């Protein structure tokens, strides 16, 4: 069944708008060394869900780690695949890691058939990218990837909050099921964001351990402000973070809520450049609101008005994105 889905990936959905062909993300799904047969089926099943969601989205999907083992090792295949991806683009690149991980106190690894991939490997391969990138590491011991991969504008999710959470993680299958699930659409905008999928999957992980009467051995984190600290799902009420770190670090979640694998019809009608500008403006509004307490009221509302006016122009059909209107609100908090 999975092979059939993979053949369908990359085909535009019937009836999609004129922009659909140029709105397609790339989704790289990496399935690690399975170890036990039962766990291998779990990883493959999660990969199938991601491939199916990619097909629905008309996205290009690439699966590494399933099928024959002849040819280059999976580590080299992933490196080559990333090297061939455009580095400058408004289109999203999703990298999903499904499998086991290890941590020896110094270096975290994702287990592959053949040589394993370290967090350092992946950080180097992603360094040239200046496009929207989301890395979702669903493996055990995945937390150290968060710090190594964090970058401005990039979303990084790990299934654990520590490299020492080494047991099999259930977060991956739950996220695979949630990424295109309407039930996970918390703000009811007709599409499920990566943030919403993260929150739903984390909730289902917690429910699993509670139902089993077991102590949770995994705690997923999300980072999208580039500080590499991460935020757990229970810090959110709906899609808004309601807790702050003691050091006053910027809130996570704003950028992750802009990543949608399966987009709504309204979203598909937006030109890529318009969507990119809309996302910049929404981020600027969110960051401005975080700094409200540090600004006098007049400055705050003047900056907010400029941002909201340009957002209004974009939403009413003015599809010539301007950068001048938001110059006062693009500061980091």
Q: Of 143, 152, 161, 294, which is closest to residue 224 (Cα–Cα)?
A: 152
Q: Could you tell me the two tokens for 239?
A: 């899609």
For 77, phi then psi, to 5°, come to -60, -45
184 with 74, same domain: the answer is yes
Whether 109 and 101 have beta carbons less than 8 Å apart is answered as yes
Domain count across the chain = 2
For 127, phi then psi, to 5°, come to -55, -40
Q: Give the sign of the dihedral formed by CA 250, CA 146, CA 175, CA 56.
A: positive
238 with 282, same domain: the answer is no
Q: Which long-range contacts (CB under 8 A, 24 or more apart) does 36-42 make?
A: 39/100, 39/168, 42/172, 42/173
145 with 213, same domain: the answer is yes
What HEC string does 63-94 produce? EECCCCCCCCCHHHHHHHHHHHCCCECCCCEE
219 with 261, same domain: the answer is yes
23 with 169, same domain: the answer is yes
Residue 100: CATH number of its domain? 3.40.50
- Residue 311 lies in domain: 272-326
Burial of residue 10 (number of CB atoms within 10 Å: 0-12, 13-18, 19+): middle
- Look at residue 48 and give its three-state secondary structure: helix
Mean pLDDT (10-residue bins), the chain, 333 residues: 36 35 82 92 97 96 92 97 96 98 98 98 98 98 98 96 97 98 96 99 98 98 96 95 76 95 92 90 92 92 96 74 40 31
Q: What's residue 332's pLDDT?
A: 31
Distance CA 265, CA 257 (A): 17
Q: What's residue 290's pLDDT?
A: 86
Final residue belonging to a domain, choices 216, 245, 267: 267
- Look at residue 263 and give its three-state secondary structure: coil
Residue 100 lies in a domain: yes
């Amino acid at each position: 069944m999975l092979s059939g889905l993979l053949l369908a990936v990359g085909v535009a959905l019937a009836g999609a708008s004129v922009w659909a062909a140029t709105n397609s993300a790339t989704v790289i799904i990496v399935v690690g060394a399975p170890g036990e047969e039962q766990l291998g089926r779990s990883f493959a099943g999660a990969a199938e869900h991601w491939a199916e969601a990619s097909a629905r989205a008309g996205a290009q999907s690439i699966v590494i780690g399933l099928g024959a083992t002849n040819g280059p090792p999976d580590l080299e295949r992933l490196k080559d695949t990333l090297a061939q991806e455009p580095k400058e683009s408004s289109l999203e690149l999703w990298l999903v890691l499904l499998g086991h991980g290890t941590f020896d106190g110094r270096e975290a690894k994702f287990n592959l058939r053949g040589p394993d991939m370290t967090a350092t490997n992946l950080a180097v391969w992603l360094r040239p990218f200046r496009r929207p990138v989301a890395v979702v590491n669903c493996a055990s011991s995945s937390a150290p990837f968060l710090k190594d991969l964090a970058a401005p504008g990039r979303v990084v999710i790990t299934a654990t909050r520590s490299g020492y959470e080494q047991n099999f993680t259930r977060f991956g299958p739950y996220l695979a099921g949630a990424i295109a699930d309407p039930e996970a659409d918390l703000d009811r905008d007709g599409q499920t964001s990566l943030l919403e999928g993260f929150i739903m999957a984390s909730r289902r992980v917690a429910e699993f351990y509670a139902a089993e009467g077991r102590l949770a051995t995994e705690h997923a984190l999300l980072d999208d402000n580039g500080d590499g600290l991460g935020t757990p799902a229970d810090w959110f009420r709906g899609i808004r973070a309601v807790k702050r770190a003691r050091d006053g670090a910027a809130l996570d979640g704003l950028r992750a809520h802009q990543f949608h694998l399966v987009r709504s019809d309204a979203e598909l009608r937006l030109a890529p450049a318009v969507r990119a500008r809309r996302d910049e403006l929404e981020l600027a509004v969110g960051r401005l609101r975080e700094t409200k307490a540090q600004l006098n009221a007049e400055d705050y509302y003047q900056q907010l008005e400029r941002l909201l006016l340009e957002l209004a122009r974009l939403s009413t059909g003015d599809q010539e994105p301007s950068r001048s209107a938001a110059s006062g609100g693009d500061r980091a908090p």
